[in-house]
A and B are shown apart, each in its own frame.
Chain A
Amino acid sequence: MLSKVIVITSGKGGVGKTTTVAHIGTALALMGRKVAVVDADIGLRNLDIILGLENRIVYDLVNVIEGTCKLNQALIRDKRVGNLYLLPAAQTRTKEAVEPEQMKALCHSLRETFDYVLIDSPAGIEGGFRNALAGADSAIIVTTPHVSAVRDADRIIGLVEAAEKGIPKLIINRLDIEMVKKGEMLDQDDIVDILSIGLLGIIPEDPAIVTASNRGESVFNNDKSKSAEAYRRIARRIEGEDVPLLDLDDNHSFLGRLKRILTTNIG
C-alpha cells in the first residue's frame, strides 16, 4: 500500500494532540501496520513520555536533519507494540532548528519504511506548525468541546486548506456525555455544524487516559475501555473502513433504546 503521512494538529494547546497521536499510532500498529510517530514539537517534547519511551532517547529529529545520526538510529521501537516507532523531538533546541524543506525530506525517507507516518504538531500557527504541516499529505484536527478550542480549530482548518493539504478530518476529544446531556457543553452536532468538516471520531472524557498517559502505559490493555474502542474505530476509519460512531451514552432507558431503533429504521 501507499504510505500516508498525516499531521495531527489543533491550533490550541492542551486539547490532546499528543495523546491522540500515541493512541492512533498504537491502534494502527496493533492492526498490523508499520507506523512511525514523529514528535515535531521541538523544545517541548511529550510524545516520548506518553509512550513511556523517554529514557531510551539517544538521538532525535534535529540530529537526523543535521546529519549527526542516521534515521534508523534515532527511531525508537515501542516497548509493547513491535510495529510502532517513535522519532522524538529535540528538547534542547527550538523550532527554528528545522526548515519546512527539511521536514519534507524527512517525511519522504520515512515513507520508504512505514505504512503510516503520524506527525505530532506543536500548538500555534507559526513556524513549528508550518514545519509539521510541510511533509504531510493530509491533516487531522483535534478539538475539545470548548468554544476556544473550536475557534482555533477553525483557524487551523483554514490554514491547512490554504496549504493545499485537502480538507482535514475532525476528532472531538474529551467529550463529556453527562455535561452535553445537561446542555453545559457543546455537543458533536454543534461542533460539526461550525467547522463543517468530516468527523473521524469522538473520544469520551476518560480518567483512564490521563492515568495511562502519565504512566506511559497503554489503554488498549483494558477491553472495556470506551476510549480505547474509540481510538480503534478511528484507526479503522483511517484504513478506509466504514465504521459507525461509538455510542458514548451507556445509560439508555428502554424507551430511549426504542426511540433509537425507530429513528434508525425511519431515518
Chain B
Amino acid sequence: MTDKMSIAFRGTPAGLVVVVDEEKPFKTIMADLVRKLEDSGYFFVGADVTLDLGSRDLDRTELNQVAETIQNKHGLVITGVKTTSERTKSAAQALDVNIVHEDHPAPNASAKTEIAPPTHATPPVPEYPPTLSPIPPGELPTEIVRRTFRSGQQYESAGNLVVLGDVNAGAELIAAGDIIIFGALRGMAFAGSTGKTDAMILALKLNPTQLRIADRVARSAGDVVENNPGPEVAFIENDQIVIDVWGKH
C-alpha cells in the first residue's frame, strides 16, 4: 500500500478522466482498476469517462480488457481514449474507440462511441439505475438522517445534511454544506460551518431559535409566528442572513 495507485480518477472541466500510469505492469493496473471501482461502489455508475493512457503501449486485447472492466462490470461509459502511443492508437481504432486529442475535448454524451463489444450474446444489465450521476467535483456529499432531534442533542455533518424529522428547541445541527429539514426547525442550525457562504438552511417550518451560515449569526425575532407560510429558506444576501419563502424563485 506504500506504492501510489496506478489508476487515478480525476474530475476535470471536460468530465471524469481515468489516468493510467505509464510505467507500472499491466497486471497491477488491472488490479488497481478493479479495486478502485469496487471501493467506490455505485459512486461512478453512469459517469462518462475519458481514458488517459499517456505514452503507454496497449494492444487490442489489453485495451479491450480495460474497457470491459470499466463499462460492462461497473457501469461507466468510456467516451474516448487519450494516448500518445501509436500502438495504443491503432488498438483503439481497431476497437472503434474515439481518440481524444489535447486540443479537442471529449465529445459529449450524444456522440458516445461503442467500444469493447461484450463477449456474451447479451450485455450484462447493471444492478443499479445507470442514470445515477457522480457527485460533480467540488460538491459535498449529502447525508440523510431520519430522526427527531430533541433538546440537548447535537448532530454534525461534513457535507450537506437532510433531516427527516423535527429539530426541537435546544437541539443543534451543524453541517459544512446545506441543511434541509423535512419537518420543523425550532432549534439551532449552522450551515456552511467551514466557511461556505452560499450554504442555505431550508425547513418545512422554519422557526429557529438561531441560524448560523458561515460566519453570520441570526436570531429569531422572538415573536411567535402564527401563520407559518410553509417551507422557507435562509441564506446570506448582502452579508446578512435573510429568510424567504421557498420556491419563490
Q: How far is the CB of A98 from chain B (nearest CB, A)?
A: 24
Give, as a whole number of angstroms, the nearest-CB distance from A266 to chain B.
24
* A75 sits at the interface (CB 8 A): no
- B166 touching A151, Cβ below 8 Å: no
A210 on the B face (CB < 8 A): no
Mark interface residues in A192-211 (1 if CB within 8 Å of B CB, else 0): 00101000000000000000
One of A36-44, A129-137, A153-161 at the interface: A153-161
- Chain B residues with a Cβ closer than 8 Å to the other chain, count: 10
For A111-142 the 0/1 string (1 means CB < 8 A from B) is: 00000000000000100000000000000000
Cα distance A125–B168 when bound, in Å? 18
Closest to A194 in B: B168
Chain A contact residues (Cβ within 8 angstroms of B): what range? 10 to 19
- The residues of A that contact B169 with a CB separation of less than 8 Å are 151, 154, 194
Residue A152 at the chain B interface, CB threshold 8 Å = yes
The secondary structure that dominates the A interface is helix
B150 nearest in chain A by CB position: A158
Complex contacts, B85 vs chain A, CB 8 Å: none
User: Chain A residues near B153 (CB, 8 Å)?
Assistant: 158
Specify which chain A residues have a CB less than 8 angstroms from the CB of B142 in the assembled complex. Answer: none
B170 at the interface (CB under 8 A from A): yes
Contact A155 B152 (CB under 8 A): yes
Q: Is the CB of B151 within 8 A of A158?
A: yes
Q: Which residues of chain B (125-179) have a CB below 8 Å from chain A? A: 148, 150-153, 166, 168-170
CB contacts (< 8 Å) of A194 on chain B: these are 166, 168-169, 186
CA of A194 to CA of B150, assembled, Å: 9
Contact A158 B152 (CB under 8 A): yes
Q: Nearest-CB distance from B152 to chain A (Å)?
A: 5
| A160 CB → nearest B CB, Å | 10
Name, among A125, A157, A159, A196, the residue most crowded by chain B CB atoms within 10 Å (CB to CB): A196
Docked Cα-Cα span, A235 to B71, in Å, equals 65
CB distance from A183 to the nearest CB of B (A): 10
Contacts of A155 in B (CB 8 A): 150-152, 170
A2 → chain B closest CB, angstroms: 29
A-B contact pairs, 24 of them (CB 8 A): A125-B152, A151-B169, A151-B170, A152-B151, A154-B150, A154-B151, A154-B168, A154-B169, A154-B170, A155-B150, A155-B151, A155-B152, A157-B150, A158-B150, A158-B151, A158-B152, A158-B153, A161-B150, A194-B166, A194-B168, A194-B169, A194-B186, A196-B148, A196-B166
